[in-house]
Amino acid sequence: MELDHDFTVPVPVDQAWPVLLDVERVATCMPGATLDSVEGDEYKGRMKVKVGAMTITYRGAARIVSADNSSRTVTLEASAKEARGSGTASATVQARLHEEDGTTRVTVHTKLNVTGRPAQFGRNILSEVGSKIISRFAKALAAELETSGEPAPGAGAQADAEAAATSAKPEPAPGAEAKPEATAGKAEPADKPGPATADVVTPLPDAAPERPAEAPQRPARADRPLRVAREDDAIDLLEVAGPSVAKRAVPAVGGLVGLLLVLRFMLRRRRRSKKR
């Protein structure tokens, strides 16, 4: 399925851009995500999606395949396998930033492919699960921005994220009949470099605006599993990656972060349609 979404974060483009490129940092906002290792430009990890009685754990990898500073466009590829089960999830996510009055609107085009049990139900478990993840993610992202900034439109960001969270719900893809159509604005001009009024936020730790491809360049730190999620209900710190995990993650582009971006952006789409 292909999806288009947009999303606004309360920071100027110049500050949002490096955040988006910092996979590790984005991943910290994702409930249930654990980054296991970084090898070259490939981030490997797990994501445990837990909703009510249901649990699905994915293992996989993601990498940024291109980052164009001039058009503020970043493309991620991710793929993952279920830790228990034969299903897979893969995504190609293209995100582009637009300056809007000191904030940043992000437009995202996503190709998402989910297989296996979660895709085999009429009640669209993934979209339900996705919306839940997004709510958490949006809150976490807002909090992240708030704590790392100074004066910050912190409260505003929080409220915005709350609103987004409560309205989060991807459009359904009711079976064979309706392909999820792209509702969000297409072909947003990459113009408006926008005056970065950036009085705000985030002294971004190790990602500088000038070095958008910084994350991919970071050296491998294979030694860590690091816990990055802050929501405690959907993460399993003690879970030991099975012997096949490393192998599973090897073939290419993988997983979680791409998926989470996808899910994150679903929320915006919904919100827009509600405004109409």
Partner 1 sequence: MTVQEGGVQEGRAGAEIGSPRKRSEDARLIAGRTQWTDNMTPQGTLHVAFLRSPHAHARIVRVDASQAMGRPGVVAAFSGADFADEQGSLPCAWPVTDDMKHPDHPPMAVSEVRFVGEPVACVVARDKSAAFDALDEIDIDYEPLPAVLNMDAALAEGSDLVHDDLGTNKSYTWVFENGDLDAALRDAPVVIEREYVQQRLIPTAMEPRSVLCVPDGDDFTLYSATQIPHILRLMLATVTEIPEHRIRVVAPDVGGGFGSKLQVCGEEVLALLLARRLGRPVKWTESRSEGNMTVHHGRDQIQRLTLAAERDGRIRGFKADILADMGAYLMLVTPGIPILGAFMYNGIYKMDAYSFTCTGVFTTKTPTDAYRGAGRPEATYAIERMMDELAAELGVDPIEIRRRNWIAHEEFPYETIAGLTYDSGNYEAATDKALELFEYDKLRAEQADRRDRRDPVQLGIGVSTFTEMCGIAPSRVLGSLSYGAGGWEHASVRILASGKVEVVTGSSPHGQGHETAWAQIAADRLGVPFEDVRVLHGDTAISPKGMDTYGSRSLAIGGVALFSACDKVVEKARRVAAHLLEAAEQDLEFTAGRFSVRGVQEEGKTLQEVALATFAAHDLPDGVEPSLDSDATFDPENFSFPHGTHLCAAEVDTETGMVHLRKYVAVDDVGKVINPLIVEGQVHGGLAQGIAQALYEEAVYDADGNLTTTTMADYLIPSAADLPTFTTDRTETPATSNPMGVKGVGEAGTIASTPAVVNAIVDALRPYGVNDVPMPCTPERVWRALRSETKPDTAEPGAGGGLGSASASGSDSDSAGGAQ
Partner 2 sequence: MIPAAFDYARPASVDDAVRVLADAGEDAKVLAGGQSLMPLLRLRLAIPDALVDVGRIGALREIRDDGDALVIGAMATHHQVIRDPLVREHAPLIAAAAETVADPAVRHRGTFGGSLAHADPAGDLPAVALALDAVFLVRSVRGEREIPATEFFVDWMTSAMEPDELLVGVRVPKPGPGWGVHYEKFHRTAQAWAIVGVACAVRRNGGAIEEARVALTNMGPAPVRADGVENAVRGRPVSEDSFRSAAEHATEGTEPPGDLHGSPEYRSHLATVLTSRALAAAAV
Residues near partner 1, by CB under 8 A: 1, 84-88, 90, 113-116, 119-124, 173, 175-180, 243-244, 247-248, 251
Q: How far is the CB of 77 from partner 1 (least distance, A)?
A: 13
We find the least distance from the C-beta atom of residue 228 to partner 1, in angstroms, to be 26
Residue 224's binding partner, choosing from partner 1, partner 2, none, with beta-carbon cut-off 5 to 8 A by kind?
Answer: none
Check: CB of residue 129 under 8 Å from CB of residue 50.
Answer: no
Distance CA 95, CA 101 (A): 19
Residue 127 interacting partner from partner 1, partner 2, none (CB closer than 5 to 8 Å by kind): partner 2
Summarize as ranges the residues that interact with partner 2 (CB under 8 A): 51-56, 84-85, 117-118, 122-125, 127-129, 131-132, 135, 167, 169, 171-175, 233
Residue 127 and residue 139: Cα distance in Å, rounded? 18
CB 218, min distance to partner 2, A:
33
Instruction: Enter the tokens of residue 24.
Output: 């590790």
Considering beta carbons, is residue 117 or 272 the nearer one to partner 1?
A: 117
Q: How far is the CB of 58 from partner 2 (least distance, A)?
A: 13
Q: What's the gap between Cα 145 and its chain centre? A: 15
From the list partner 1, partner 2, none, partner contacted by residue 88 (C-beta under 5 to 8 A by kind): partner 1
Beta-strand runs (E) in 137-243: 226-227
1 binds, among partner 2, partner 1, none (CB under 5 to 8 A by kind): partner 1
Q: 132 touches which of partner 1, partner 2, none (CB within 5 to 8 A by kind)?
A: partner 2
CB of 69 to partner 1, least distance (A): 31
Q: Which does 227 bind (CB under 5 to 8 A by kind): partner 2, partner 1, none?
A: none
Helix 154-167 × helix 256-275 angle, to 10°: 90
Least Å distance, CB 108 to partner 2, is 21
Nearer residue to partner 2 within complex by CB, 175 or 203:
175
Q: Closer to partner 1 at the Cβ: 69 or 124? A: 124
Which of the choices partner 1, partner 2, none does residue 251 contact, using the CB cut-off of 5 to 8 A by kind? partner 1
Helix (H, G, I), strand (E, B) or coil at 192: coil
Residue 193 CA to residue 202 CA, distance in Å, equals 20
Q: How many CB atoms are closer than 10 A to CB 188?
A: 15
How many Cα atoms occupy the beta-carbon half-sphere of 224 within 13 Å? 11
Characterise 133 by phi-psi region: left (phi > 0), alpha (psi -120 to 50), beta (else). Answer: alpha
Smallest separation, CB 244 to partner 1 (Å): 5
Residue 222 burial by Cβ neighbours in a 10 Å radius (0-12, 13-18, 19+)? exposed
Distance of CA 245 to the CA centre of its chain: 22
CA-to-CA separations, 162 to 42, 180, 254, 264, in angstroms, rounded? 32, 25, 29, 13
